[in-house]
Structure 1
Amino acid sequence: MKPVFTLIVLLIALISCNNNNTSKSIENKVNKQDSIVVKNFFNTALTNGQSYQWLDYLSNEIGGRLSGSPESAAAILWGEQLMKDLNFDKVWLQDVMVPHWSRGEKEEASFTFNNTKYDVAICALGGSIATPTEGITGEVIEVQSLEEVESLAEKLRGKIVFFNRPFDDTHIQTFKAYGGCVDQRYAGAMTCGKFGAIAAIVRSMTNSIDDYPHTGAMSYGDIAENEKVPTAAISTKAANLLSEKLKENPTLKFYFKQSCSTLPDEPSYNVIGELTGSEFPDEIITVGGHLDSWDLGDGSHDDGAGIVQSMEVLRLFMLNGIKPKHTIRCVLFINEENGLRGGKKYADEAKAKKENHIAALESDSGGFTPRGFTFDTSNENANLFLSWKPLLAPYSLNEIEKGHGGADIGPLKSETISLFGYRPDSQRYFDYHHAATDTFDKVNKRELELGAASMASLVYLLDTYLN
């Protein structure tokens, strides 16, 4: 019996070895194919890309695209026609009612110290009310936080509150620095208005020291109309100067004037195009960014880059002959900057139609050098995504980790969908974010194209492996 037993053991071992070799061979074949596809995406984007040319037109021919503006309407028509020209399987517009805030005339600001007048660079924050037509003048109280405002209470009556908390430059990821002080921009006016302050000015949300004020959304929450005060962003260079002079003369007076207004809501649209899935047409992978931008610059980084990269993802699939298994949908969301109504409408309609979204990717961090992706998903899927690191690492996509997906795709969040945020290098982003400096000349063609290829690679892997 012993020789027979030994023979059986050897046969089992041989079969097992063959099975392992076969399995390994299949794994290697799949990985090799994935590598070829990813490489082809990058080759195509870098030698035959269209994202930079599209961004040139969007930025230089249409310009800043604040919701409700004529430029926003022109951008919607441009995006719809471009998707049709690219021969996506389906292209349509999705109705969205959006807020319409207008900046009005260029803002003015100044203060006088020791008989010297200092002109100050400011810009109204989106959603703010105007000052009186003659402007507003008052003594200034400098604060570092919303909590400090609460502690000062009645001392703020009749004063202009100056929020001057800067970025924490020890954060390597500049989005963390932004998140650490943006509350003063969004909630500063509503917090100090209830204590009788007459206005609020807020240090610009940037780690650069320059004379370009950065706008952005603010809110009055549910405070009474008589508690609403005008609010504006002050450039970081001017903020430092004002803070310095306040230390020498705490009673100096600050003047500013702005003529912004909120108009009735306007009809607008999300622009949507898709490639229909060959095996699972009812399972959707969404990729997109937001079409609207602030009005000071032309919105090239925020978020023109994300828009053109998202459309390029579908084009790269088509040029490389890849028919997706799932439906790949490109969405140009409207009104991310001052309302998020495009993202909310898209999610509401998806739920109403019982659409099955399995993944969504957003590009809204600028058109800089790719670094990776953040994801919000289940632990099971997280392990799958992390397994792609070796495949993506040669393209500098080393940072693949749990985190925020994106504002526009956030309303889609559920237990069954995986949300992703494209993450380029963030060091220069807040030099331009919401400022007049966010213009086409600040975008590097190669960096933009690398980003589009990176996004296409992730969408391909999701389409191939996600159930």
Structure 2
Amino acid sequence: MFKKIIPAVIIFLLPAFCVAQAEDSAMIRKIADEVLINGKAYENLRFLCKKVGPRLSGSPQAQKAVEATARMLKEAGADTVYLQPCMVPHWVRGIKEKGLIQVAGKAPYPLHLCSLGNSLGTGKKGISAGVVEVRSFKELDQLGATVIKGKIVFFNFEMNPTYIHTFRAYGESGGSRVAGPSKAASYGAIGVMVRSLASNTDDFPHTGVTVYNDSFPKIPAVAISTNDAEWLSKQLKLRMVLTASFTNTCAMLPDTISYNVVGEIKGKEFPKEIITVGGHLDSWDLAEGAQDDGAGVMQSIEVLRAIKAAGVQPKRTLRAVMFMNEENGGRGGEKYLEIAEKNKETHLFGLESDEGGFTPRGFRLDMTEAQLNKVLQWKNLFYPYGVYELAAGGSGADVGPLKKIGASLAGLNPDSQRYFDVHHAGTDVFENVSKRELNLGALNMAALIYLIDKYGL
């Protein structure tokens, strides 16, 4: 008897499910058309890159970006736009860095280099010493103070080219940049040069944050281009006698005030349930921060604009958040959580775009198995727009803290093959963003937000 009832229930429910899918497909098509025909993300990004420019936390440009995106959110139709004050680190690069390698009997070899974010400066005199190359922290530990003391350590941690998922390679090699300077200092090094975390070989150095361990001296740290890293490694293999010299004048100033920028559309049925979509507004100072993360910021604003323009009246409150200080502190994400806890807010879901504006491939979903299975029921709705990968995974640095208060999370997963060509480098400019790809990411983000708002998790 029981076996006969189950198929009957399924047959009864199937038409309703198909009708709902058809309705959702039509609405997502409407949202997609709005983004593809009338989208504002690309022109907003142009303004951010060309009129505001690099947006390092604490800089005047960061403040201009706050003002510009608040205006954009109002123009997008947000019911309310407001700022969340937060104190952020204020690191300055100083005058352009200089460096060279002197090989015995040869002309000096000029380095393409840049200071790592939060690095201490050398002062105007600079530093000069012999070079010790290491390819792993294990090798550094084996050499120890006997070899390292008084030297400049060259961390030659190449991103593994065999990984198709380039963020895996970035994660494995990134320790050299984040923790390398303090580890080298623990053995008496006077400075560090890090191979840029880049998937291609060129002359552009890639910056990024380093995190000092207060238990050890804080030593100057720079990144050198991948071409320079290859050349230097070759010289060392030939056992050439050489000396590295570099000068930087960067400094950490006292913390200063900045802001998260928040725009929201109030929910009609469950206004106290909040759905967040966002990216980080700050960027490194070598370029315009177009892919990292101007793209994610503008996609998030476009989500609100397109949903409203398509005539959707959200059940829950939708927030687009421009987080400040992801790059060298994470203070914006921390402040957003702090305010949410203080106000006892209910956060249902948070979506982040912080892997560039390239062609979207899927979403990484950080949620319970039951919630994941619910989202997977919608996967065919994304197929027409090029998204095929819905799977468990991490979300993003800024929405990540919301997990503490029970939010389910996700991260947009674009094609990553070209991302580390420009990531944190002087090549991260507006001209390297495709309008079509940027819009495809925005419309898929809007579709996911629409579905979660309608059905919950």
Q: In which range does the TM-score fall when normalised by the shorter chain?
A: over 0.9
Instruction: Give the letter for the 1:153 counterpart.
Output: G
C-alpha distance in structure 2 between counterparts of 1:14 and 1:337, whole Å: 58
Alignment partners' CA distance in 2, 1:18 and 1:282: 38
Shift of 1:19: 6.6
Write the mapping of 1:82-101 to structure 2, written as runs, cut at 5 A: 82-101=72-91
What letter is aligned with 1:167? M
Question: How far apart are the structure 1 equivalents of 2:156 and 2:123?
Answer: 24
In the alignment, structure 2 segments of 5+ residues that lack a partner are none
Are 1:164 and 2:153 an aligned pair?
no
Deviations 1:412-463 (A, max 9, x none): 1147321000011000000000000000000000100111101000001111
Q: What do residues 302-325 of structure 1 show as CA deviations (whole Å, max 9, x unaligned)?
A: 000000000000001111000011
Is 2:280–2:322's contact at 8 Å kept on the other side of the alignment? yes
Match of 1:118 in 2: 109
290, 294, 314: which one aligns with 1:300: 290
| 1:40 match | 30
Q: Which amino acid aligns with 1:206?
A: A
Equivalent-residue separation in structure 2 for 1:112 and 1:66 (angstroms): 33
Among 65, 79, 84, the residue aligned to 2:69: 79
Q: Equivalences for 1:144-223 in 2 at 5 Å?
A: 144-154=135-145, 155-223=147-215
Q: Within the alignment, does 1:314 sit opposite 2:332 as a pair?
A: no
Q: How does 1:5-16 map to 2 (within 5 A)?
A: none
TM-superposed CA distance for 1:25, in Å, is 1.9
Q: Map Cα deviations across residues 91-120 of structure 1 (whole Å, 9 max, x no partner).
A: 100010000000011111111223222111
Q: Structure 1 stretch 135-144 or stretch 15-24: which is displaced more?
A: 15-24
TM-score of the superposed pair, with normalisation by structure 1: 0.94
1:329 counterpart residue number: 319
Matched, 1:351 2:341: yes
SS at 1:180 equivalent: helix
Q: Which amino acid aligns with 1:157?
A: K
Q: Distance in 2 between matches of 1:455 and 1:229?
A: 42
Identity across the alignment (%): 46
Aligned to 2:132: 141
CA offset at residue 389 of structure 1? 1.4
- Distance, in Å, in 2 between the alignment partners of 1:17 and 1:296 is 62
Change (3 A) 1:87 1:39: closer
Structure 2 residue aligned with 1:257: 247
Give the RMSD, CA atoms, in angstroms: 1.7
Amino acid across the alignment from 2:199: N
Is the 2:118–2:210 contact (alpha carbons within 8 Å) kept by the matching residues of 1?
yes
Deviates more, 1:243-252 or 1:355-364: 243-252
Aligned counterparts of 1:18 and 1:256: Cα–Cα separation in 2? 76
Aligned residue pair count: 454
Separation (CA, whole Å) in 2 of partners of 1:250 and 1:197: 20
Q: Given the alignment, which residue of 228, 232, 251 partners 1:242?
A: 232
- What letter is aligned with 1:260? C
After TM superposition, the score normalised by the length of structure 2 is 0.97
CA distance, structure 1, for counterparts of residue 359 and residue 286 of structure 2: 24
1:213 and 1:236 in contact (8 A); partners too: yes
Indicate which of 390, 400, 421 corresponds to 1:410. Answer: 400
Q: Once the 2 structures are TM-superposed, how far is the Cα of residue 231 of structure 1 from its aligned partner? A: 0.4
Cα distance in structure 1, aligned partners of 2:77 and 2:143: 60
Aligned to 2:119: 128
What do the CA deviations read for 1:358-377 (whole angstroms, capped 9, x no partner)?
Answer: 10000000000010100111
CA–CA distance in structure 1, aligned partners of residues 406 and 87 of structure 2: 28
Deviation, 1:14, is 12
* Cα distance between partner residues in 2 of 1:239 and 1:362: 33
Shift, 1:220, TM fit: 1.0
1:140–1:251: 8 Å Cα contact kept in structure 2? no
Aligned-partner residue type, residue 141 of structure 1: V
Shift of 1:251: 3.1
2:158, 2:306 → 1: CA distance?
A: 41
Q: Partners in 1 of 2:8 and 2:192 — Cα distance?
A: 74
1:394, CA displacement in angstroms?
2.0
- Sort the Cα spacing of 1:354 and 1:117 in 2 relative to 1 into closer, same or farther, 3 A: same
Provide the rounded CA distance (Å) in 1 between the counterparts of 2:191 and 2:18: 64
1:140–1:250: 8 Å Cα contact kept in structure 2?
no
Q: Secondary structure at the match of 1:270?
A: strand
Query: Which region of structure 1 is more displaced relative to structure 2, 73-82 or 18-27?
Result: 18-27
Alignment partner of 1:304: what SS?
helix
Report whether the alignment pairs 1:465 with 2:455: yes
Distance of 1:392 and 1:321 partners within structure 2: 20
Aligned letter for 1:396?
G
1:230 to 217, 220, 229: 220
Change in 2 beyond 3 A, CA 1:203/1:22: same
Q: Quick one: distance in 1 between partners of 2:414 and 2:319?
A: 22
> Are 1:140 and 1:254, in contact at CA under 8 Å, matched by a contact in 2?
yes
Unaligned runs of 5+ in 1: 1-11
Instruction: Sort the Cα spacing of 1:203 and 1:32 in 2 relative to 1 into closer, same or farther, 3 A.
Output: same
